[in-house]
Amino acid sequence: MCAQATDPRFAGLPAVPGKILAVHLAYESRAAQRGRRPAAPSYFLKPASSVATTGSEVERPAGTELLAFEGEVALIIGTPARDVPLEEAWSHVGWVTAANDWGLYDLRAGDKGSNVRNKGRDGYTPLGPQLIDPRAVSPAGLRVRTWRNGELVQDDTTADDHLIFPLAQIVADLSQHLTLEVGDVILTGTPAGSSVAVPGDVIEVEVDAPDAPGAPSSGRLLSRVVEGAGDFDPALGSLPSVDDLQREEAWGDRAAAGLPPTPGPVLTDTLRAKLLEAPVAGLSQALRQRGIRSIFIDGPTSDTPGAKLVGTARTLRFVPLREDLFQKHGGGYNAQKRAFDAVQPGEVIVIEARGNAGSGTLGDILALRAQARGAAGIVTDGGVRDHAQVASFDIPVFSQGAHPAVLGRYHVPWEHDVTIACGGATVQPGDIIVGDDDGVIVIPPALAEEVADATLAQEAEDAWIATQVQAGHPVDGLFPMNAEWRARYETETGADPR
């Protein structure tokens, strides 16, 4: 079968693809690298105008920095597929080849999850150069490798224990939602090792089946990175922008991106255990004694009485509603969703909603996402939708109560991982958040160990005083203790003199 000869971009393909469908995340190695493992496959579309052939140039627009390559196995549909069962799905694949799913991370935030601009640019889907007959290979026996300037940087297989979603499952799943037509291309995800390329780099991708008879191969799909025009018009749409999170994800890790290593945890297991035992009232007193008074997050209370909250802050900021800004920032993969996707085990999502409880700042789905990510809790000075369901989850949530309205009533999700004001308190990423039935406070990390120890010592002292009061002693001279009572306390308990 010959490709459309009128356009050299499709010269190596059996037909001009009507659709290019790409899987977001499919390899175990990539999921481990990203710190998230999806429960089901998810997809995005790329335009046919992004297709290129081997030897083509890939442009990185001037002024941008994060053009990333992703070597992938590409499936090309040979017979139409609609609602096909899993056991028949592979028979609808007509050809297998190599792909490079290029993406410009500088445009990722503006795309809000659609990938239209960052992955849909001309030349960003090279395919080929040779086609593999799927009948001659096992869908679990393919290998994908990528070289950057001759150095092997990606090497993985489609074995069942390497893929989260087997290739046949991807075909069957897509077919239950839309008709896969002859020539349609499915990009099946990239393994770990995807990284950034710069002008002058040469990237090669090969898909083969080394254990199949004849070891069929796609041959090496070659792309040369060049600098292109970067004159984006701000009047037409969002401009390229990057932050350290995008740099880390584009390069693959912080070290490769030239970023300093993530500091070790201030909130150690030992310190966490102390803070779980220490009451918020006692901690606030210890902070006040050290000159730190403005640490109360006023307004939020526990949605589940009796819950204790301890964790490091991961912040999210809402700004007041402005309809034109909500249209740009309220939908898609917005700052709210990015924050809940990025939260790490032991962190607390702290939300600035300006004390406005007149709409929900999260609901059951996002609370479940935080719980699945291992978050230590959520604090918001706004409201919570699906309040009863959220309160039933195994994650502490402190809020100003229930409200059924969505964000667009009062809020625009604006940014995350920045300094915010929640309930009148300044909260920075990495601050230690502690909450109980008395409320929520912010503890500067440098003081946390000292404050926790002082609070627990005071709690032991207060417990001893309580036993004396129960025994009938008057509080005068006992609470607080005078020299006589303190000497008795130290003698009976062995407490260190202060």
Q: What is the dihedral of CA 484, 485, 486, 490, to 10 degrees?
A: 110
Contacts with 395 (C-beta within 8 Å, 6 or more apart), sequence order: 367, 370, 371, 375, 376, 377, 378
76 is annotated as contributing to ligand binding: no
The answer to whether residues 184 and 174 touch, using CB atoms and an 8 Å cutoff, is no
Going by C-alpha positions, the residue among 333, 343, 393 that lies closest to residue 365 is: 393
Contacts with 106 (C-beta within 8 Å, 6 or more apart), sequence order: 61, 64, 65, 66, 118, 240, 241, 242, 246
365 is annotated as contributing to ligand binding: yes
The answer to whether residues 125 and 343 touch, using CB atoms and an 8 Å cutoff, is no
- Which stretches of 239-294 are DSSP H helices? 244-251, 269-277, 280-289
366 is annotated as contributing to ligand binding: yes
Neighbours of 341 (CB within 10 A): 16
The answer to whether residues 110 and 242 touch, using CB atoms and an 8 Å cutoff, is no
The residue type at 324: D
Going by C-alpha positions, the residue among 347, 359, 477, 357 that lies closest to residue 407 is: 359
Q: Is 197 helix (H, G, I), strand (E, B) or coil?
A: strand
364 is annotated as contributing to ligand binding: yes
Q: Binding site: residue ranges? A: 363-366, 385-386
Q: Binding site for substrate: residue ranges? A: 363-366, 385
Q: Binding site for Mg(2+): residue ranges? A: 386
